[in-house]
Structure formats: C-alpha cells, structure tokens
Amino acid sequence: MPDGRFAPSPSGPLHLGNLRTALLAWLFARSSGGRYLVRVEDLDDRARNLEFERSQLRDLDSLRLGPDEAPVRQSERLDLYRDAIAALVATGGTYECTCTRREIREAASAPHGDAPEGAYPGTCRRLTAAERARRAEEGRPAALRLRTEVERLAIVDRLHGRFEGAVDDVVLRRNDGLPAYNLAVVVDDADQGVDEVVRGDDLLSSSPRQAHLCDLLGLPRPTYAHVPLVLGPDGERMAKRHGSVTLDDQRRLGRTPDQVLGLLGASLGLCASGASVAPSDLLDAFAPDALPRKPWVVRAHVLSGEPGDP
C-alpha cells in the first residue's frame, strides 16, 4: 500500500497545474489503499508565505483533496535535516563550496570531460589550499556539497520507465545555513513513510540525485511517478499571466470545485468533458498506465469561462 504526498511550496496560490498534480497524488495513493499526505515546503520566506499556505490548504479542502493527517512543515523539521547532514559529514563525503551563482553557471557551461552535462563540475572540491585560503579571506559564505563518487544513476518511473540521469556534487546545506531542497525532500519522504513520489515531470532529472542520497543515508528509495505539466494556451508553463488559473479565479467564472475537478479529470481521460465530480468518482477509471504522457495545454475558454472541451 504505497503512501503518497503532495508537497507544494507556499510561494503563491495553487493553479490548475498544481491542483492536477494534487489530484493525481491522491488518486495514486487511494488506488493502492495508501495514505495521502500533504507537506508544506516552506524553507524560504516562511513568515511571508503563511497566507499562501492557508489558501493552498483551503483550496485542497474545497476539492476534497485534504490530507489524511495534519500537514507537516519543513520549517519545523530542521533538526531532522541537520542530523542527516551531520551523518554525511561524518563519512568525509562532503566539502564546502564558495562558488557564486555566476561562477557555477559559467563552470557548468564550460566543457568538462569528467562531469555529466549540466552538472556542477566540482570546482571547489579541486581547490588548492592557497585558493581555499584566498576565498576564506574574501569572506565568501560557504555552502556544503556532497562529494559524490557516482556520475550517473538510473531509477524506474511509473510513467517514464527507466531513466538515467546525472548525479553531481549536490548542495546539502545552502550558504545561508538552510538545508537544500534535494536533501530535505529525501529526509521528509523517508520520515513520513512516503514510498511513492508523484510530482511534475520537470523534477524527473532530480530523482537520480535523490535516490543516491537515499542510498548514502541508508533510507529506502521511493517509487516515482512524474506526471506531465500543465501549460497555458501559449504553450508556456502555466502562470498567473494566463488568466483565471486558480480555484478562486474559476469560482468567479461560475465553476464550482466539483466542476473544476471535472475539468482536471477530463484532461486525464477519467471523466466526460463538462462533468461535475468528486475525487472518488474518478477512482474506477484511474489506471496509471493509461495516463497521458504529454502536457495538458489548457485551452483559452477554460480560463475565460466559456464551454468546451478542456
């Protein structure tokens, strides 16, 4: 019975793409008899984003996609991340990195015969003692990176099959002292008992890095299901500029939460266009192997309140 989760960042209201992923996470969990959890990934600007967190949880409740247990917040789990980082440091498999973002971009774009394409090429792990001293004198804040000995790793995804991607010297602790995303989600999923990660396929390339961190920390690897993104009518990733993209926007157009769920369900081939449904109404038709593999390009009328197919 795989347990699943939806893990939004409270940086703004949920849009149709986020809500579709939440629905899919719920369907994956429910179809296998597992728990459905919600985690608030609020390591950045926690106080400023409290209003967004509340609105996101309210929207999930309106769509009957509220979690089986109280949501957890990353901002309240810092000790777990520190313990995991300390365990990795104790192995000698980490190093400090004082590269600026610009230096990382320039280094990643330069040819490196020993580094996977697009990966951090290990600039700071190769610094001489003199170069380290010079950077220390400059007062550069240091991030902490994993000293990985694996360049590539394969995972198996429910929708994409076998996927092999780069495993670089991923950041474990940012230069502001906060744990980095890849480390935090690995620790969270293991601690919460999440064994099936359902999320947007823009994060597929992160999975080999995270699976490698699981291995190093002695944590079980989850299974993965990276689902297609939702795009605006212009083919670009969905954003507020596309119009009525949030649940509140759709309400103002006259659609109820059940009608919004009908839009999402129809885009997945789980119900008829124009249906008004509850999440449970979609379970009988849900089959992971039959899910669309291409992005859902939302037609303009969906964002203007006009009738028609999604």
Locus of tokens 């010079």: 134
Average pLDDT, stretch 261-288? 95
The SS3 assignment for 108 reads helix
Cβ atoms within 10 Å, residue 128: 8
Distances (CA, A) of 73 to 22, 41, 57, 208: 17, 6, 12, 24
Active site residues: 240
What is the pLDDT, as a whole number, of residue 262? Answer: 96
Distances (CA, A) of 3 to 188, 208, 223, 283, 288: 13, 20, 10, 16, 15
Average pLDDT, stretch 4-23? 95
Decide: residue 150, CB within 10 A, 0-12 exposed, 13-18 middle, 19+ buried. Answer: middle
57-69: per-residue pLDDT in tens? 999 999 999 999 9
What is the pLDDT, as a whole number, of residue 47? Answer: 47
DSSP character at residue 80: H
Residues in the chain, how many?
310
User: 64: alpha, beta or left, given left = phi > 0 and alpha = psi -120 to 50?
Assistant: left
What is the pLDDT, as a whole number, of residue 122? Answer: 85
Domains belonging to the chain, first-starting first, are: 4-76+228-303 (3.40.50.620), 78-226 (3.40.50.620)
Cβ contact 219:186 at 8 Å: yes
Average pLDDT, stretch 244-260? 94
Contacts of 18 (CB under 8 A, 6+ apart): 8
DSSP string across 151-178: SEEEEEETTTEEEEEE----EEE-TTSP
Q: Percent of the chain at pLDDT above 90?
A: 74
What is the pLDDT, as a whole number, of residue 114? Answer: 43
Task: Please tell me whether the overall predicted TM-score, pTM, comes out greater than 0.85 for this model.
Answer: yes
Locus of tokens 């899910």: 291
Q: What is the CA radius of gyration of the chain?
A: 21
Q: Give residue 110's pLDDT band: very low, low, confident or very high (50, 70, 90).
A: low
117-133: per-residue pLDDT in tens? 557 888 888 888 888 88
196-245: per-residue pLDDT in tens? 999 999 999 999 999 999 999 999 999 999 999 999 999 999 888 888 89
Backbone angles phi, psi at 286, to 5 degrees: -75, 125
Distances (CA, A) of 36 to 66, 103, 186: 8, 41, 17
If you average pLDDT over every residue of the chain, what do you get? Answer: 90
